[in-house]
Chains A and B, each alone.
Chain A
Amino acid sequence: MGFFVRFWGTRGSIPTPGSATRRYGGNTACLEVRTDDTVLACDGGTGLRELGLDLQRRGHRSLDMHLFFSHGHWDHIQGFPFFVPAYSAANRLHVYGRVSGGRTVHALLSGQMESAYFPVRFADLGAGIVPGELTPDLSVGGVRVRTLEQNHPGGSLGYSFERDGHKVCYCTDSELDQQIEDPELPARDPAAQRSFPKEIVDFVAGADLLVADAQYMDHEYARRVGWGHPRGSTVVDLAAAAGVRRLALTHHDPMHTDEDVEAHVEACRERAATRPGAPEVFAAREWMELKIA
Chain B
Amino acid sequence: MAQSDEKTVVTSVKPRAESAGSRQGALELAAGPGAPTTYPLGGNRPLLLGRDPAADVSVASNELSRRHCRLERVGQDWLVTDLGSVNGLHLNGVRIHSALLHEGDRLQMGEVLFVFRER
CA gap between A282 and B90 in the complex, in Å: 12
B14 at interface by CB-CB < 8 Å? no
Beta-carbon nearest neighbor of B88 in chain A: A291
A285 contact from B79, B93, B99, Cβ within 8 A: B99
CA gap between A4 and B81 in the complex, in Å: 12
CA gap between A285 and B98 in the complex, in Å: 11
Contacts of A282 in B (CB 8 A): 93-94
CB pair A289–B98 under 8 Å, yes or no, is yes
CA gap between A112 and B93 in the complex, in Å: 40
Beta-carbon nearest neighbor of A287 in chain B: B100
- The number of chain B residues with a CB under 8 A from chain A is 14
B29 at interface by CB-CB < 8 Å? no
Interchain Cβ contacts within 8 Å, total number: 30
CB pair B97–A290 under 8 Å, yes or no, is yes
Contacts of A6 in B (CB 8 A): 98
CA gap between A291 and B91 in the complex, in Å: 13
Instruction: Give the contacts of A11-45 with B (CB-CB under 8 A).
Output: 22-23
Contacts of B91 in A (CB 8 A): 288
- The number of chain A residues with a CB under 8 A from chain B is 13
B86 at interface by CB-CB < 8 Å? no
Decide if the interface of chain B is mainly helix, strand, loop or mixed.
Answer: strand
Contacts of B97 in A (CB 8 A): 4, 289-291
CB pair A23–B99 under 8 Å, yes or no, is no
Contacts of B93 in A (CB 8 A): 282
Closest CB-CB distance, A262 to chain B, in whole Å? 9
Instruction: Give the contacts of A125-173 with B (CB-CB under 8 A).
Output: none
Beta-carbon nearest neighbor of B91 in chain A: A288
A280 at interface by CB-CB < 8 Å? yes
CB pair B94–A287 under 8 Å, yes or no, is no
Instruction: Give the contacts of B65-119 with A (CB-CB under 8 A).
Output: 74, 79, 81-82, 91, 93-100, 102
CA gap between A205 and B100 in the complex, in Å: 30
CA gap between A22 and B102 in the complex, in Å: 8
CA gap between A290 and B94 in the complex, in Å: 9
Contacts of B99 in A (CB 8 A): 285, 287-289
Which B residues contact A (CB, under 8 angstroms)? 74, 79, 81-82, 91, 93-100, 102
Question: Can you list 15 A-B pairs, Cβ within 8 angstroms, ordered by A?
Answer: A6-B98, A23-B102, A280-B94, A282-B94, A285-B99, A286-B100, A287-B98, A287-B99, A288-B91, A288-B94, A288-B100, A289-B81, A290-B97, A291-B82, A291-B97
Q: Give the top 4 A-B pairs by smallest Cβ distance, nearest first.
A: A287-B100, A291-B97, A289-B98, A289-B97
